[in-house]
Amino acid sequence: TTSNTPKLSSHTLIFISLPSKMASMNVLPFMIPLVLLIAFSSITNVEGARNLLNIHQVSKVDLPTLPIPNLPVPNLPTLPNIPTLPAVPNLGVPNVPKIPEVPQIPNPQLPTVPSVPEV
């Protein structure tokens, strides 16, 4: 005997009824990955990969090779001469005032520690 229940394939979508509180939830973030999963699920098995390869091979179109015409290249316009700048006069190094020396700080002498008598 044959049953009237439809057979589910790997590409069949199953819709689950949601409770009324969850019905207002945004479904779009869940639908996009699901659609992508279904769209690219044929890549995961060998048969689907072969189908994609066959589709790719059938869809290839060989374009005729066209000769590239030999067009003359127009002459480039000549640029005007760049004006030369006048020479910068040598003004020399200005007099730098002498910086006064910083006085040296003397090293302080550490006090000597009295020796401890031996007992």
Residue 100 has a pLDDT of 82
Amino acid at residue number 108: P
How does pLDDT run across 92-103, given as a tens digit for each residue?
Answer: 777 777 888 878
Structure tokens at 19: 């409770």
- Share the mean pLDDT of the chain: 71
11 and 41 in contact (C-beta within 8 Å)? yes
Q: Where are the domains of the chain?
A: 26-55
42 and 49 in contact (C-beta within 8 Å)? yes
Residue 44 has a pLDDT of 62
Q: Does pTM top 0.85 for this prediction?
A: no
